[in-house]
Chain A
């Protein structure tokens, strides 16, 4: 257990529905990342927060995706009007202050039918 928790662990939804994932990082970590991982691939960067500020967004993050970290603690990732291509594991990670290593949660697996 890395101390980063993600909810839900699994989500099955129908195409066109909205889904939201939550990430609770390690409490003293002010930096938080979202990554997406598809089968057989390495994690791909989606977005990055420092405290409540969203400082970087990948081109992978279409306008159907939105991420927030309203109080600089937990973060949410919402996908609107889901498509089958959104099926993936969504990983959250928080960053150690000194060493910069990422601590990953167990991920939220999305299946869009």
Chain B
């Protein structure tokens, strides 16, 4: 079974400071990893993904994430936080479809990011 853990329910950071939102995963086989952001009463918006290749992935709005296979982590980062980055962030994992197992994306429980002015 595949699973995702986001150990922090809440992350607070001052505007202009770097931010990190943590994610660890458990999956059999090579993972496909995703980050999504959700604003209040809205659906999820895709930020970035890791499929293969370079461990540092760059995505939308200046976000990036680093895949670390040995630590089974995929932490989301941004060098300089903005107040408008305040939202709920979800990490998600699945295995490649050709693996024949779960096709669905499994999400973590989410981390509420608050950027303080």
A interface with B by C-beta (< 8 Å): 2, 4, 6, 33, 35, 40-45, 48, 55-56, 58, 91, 93, 99-107, 109
Contact = CB atoms under 8 A, between A and B. Distances in A.
A42 B110 contact: yes
26 contacts: A4-B43, A6-B43, A33-B105, A35-B107, A40-B109, A40-B110, A42-B4, A42-B108, A42-B110, A43-B90, A43-B107, A48-B104, A55-B103, A56-B102, A56-B104, A91-B43, A99-B51, A100-B51, A101-B34, A102-B44, A102-B105, A103-B46, A104-B44, A104-B45, A107-B42, A107-B43
A109 B41 contact: yes
A58 B103 CA distance: 11
Contact of A41 (B4, B36, B94, B109): B109
Interface of B: 4, 32, 34, 36, 41-46, 49, 51, 90, 92, 94, 97, 102-110
A28 to B, nearest CB: 17
A106 to B, nearest CB: 4
Given A100-B49, A101-B46, A103-B46, 4 more contacts: A43-B90, A55-B103, A56-B102, A101-B49
Contacts of A35: 107
Contacts of A56: 102-104
B110 A91 contact: no
